[in-house]
Chain A
Amino acid sequence: MQIQVLCYGATRRHVDGDVIELALAEPATVADALSALSSVSTELAELLKQCAVAIGDELVRRNHPLHAGDALALLPPVAGG
């Protein structure tokens, strides 16, 4: 299946552009998408260990099943204020 990955915060420093198109074998979970992204670089792989993932305005867990066309937001550690 094809999904989109939307990069936020420091994850943008490890990829070209803010959106990544990712092809995954079915069935796939959030953990499978993170595993595929970890091959981009060791720096991104380290940061992904600390990332939350959202679909729409909902946080989803690593065992959440993915569907074709999903857009996953990568949310690294937050620092507002």
Chain B
Amino acid sequence: MDFNRIQTTPLSLDALLAGTESPECGALTVFSGTVRDHHEGRSVLRLKYTSHVPLAERMIREIERATCAKFDVPLCRVVHRIGELGIGESAILAIVRSGHRAEAFAALKYLVDQVKHRVPIWKEEFYADGSSAFVTGCCIADDADDASHAGDHDHAHHHHAAHTHAHTEA
């Protein structure tokens, strides 16, 4: 299905679900990741997502295909929004349809984890005190000096102090 996985306008679950109905599927799982108003004790006003769009588009399609194969489910779809997002807005939507719920839940978790950990998207948080910081995430280079955890893993994301800058905005 050809639609943009990286989008600059508010995400639509209806659009993502369009044309995916299948009489053989008894399960539909949906995940929406929405913008939180706090992170590690700090008050967050808004987020800005940026991406390497051509690589992200290709990788999300590959992750969808790999997830379908790994869990033997017929349909996986993911869209991720970039640009500035306010509290409560959806940054990522993911859906899986399958015959039964067990593989639909498992495939959905894998799908979202893979996109969060492998796709070139960056999250910059803007705080109430006027500062901002990039959320430190996962190294995606398998031959980097610090790539021992590249790829498939599950962990919390922390801020890197060196990336915190005072920000003056109009």
Instruction: Kindly state whether residue B163 has any CB partner on chain A within 8 Å.
Output: yes
Residues of A within 8 A of B147 (CB): 50
List A1-19 residues whose CB lies under 8 Å from chain B: 8-10, 13
Question: How extensive is the interface on chain B, given as a class?
Answer: 35 or more
User: In the complex, which residues 118-170 of chain B have their Cβ closer than 8 Å to any Cβ of chain A?
Assistant: 118-123, 134-147, 157, 160, 162-163, 165
9-residue interface stretch from B15-23, B66-74, B97-105, B109-117: B109-117
Interface size on A, residues (CB 8 A): 28
Partner pick for A50 among B51, B117, B119, B144, CB 8 A cutoff = B144
* Cα(A9)–Cα(B138), bound, Å: 12
A43-B162, A50-B147 given as contacts; is B122 within 8 A of A81 (CB)? no
22 pairs of residues in contact across A and B, judged by CB atoms under 8 Å: A9-B134, A10-B122, A46-B162, A47-B162, A52-B141, A53-B141, A61-B143, A75-B55, A77-B138, A78-B118, A78-B119, A78-B140, A79-B123, A79-B137, A79-B157, A80-B116, A80-B122, A80-B137, A81-B33, A81-B80, A81-B115, A81-B116
Binding site for A on B (CB under 8 A): 33, 49-52, 54-55, 57-58, 80, 91-92, 112, 115-123, 134-147, 157, 160, 162-163, 165
Which residues from chain A sit less than 8 Å from chain B, CB to CB? 8-10, 13, 43, 46-47, 49-54, 56-59, 61-63, 73, 75-81
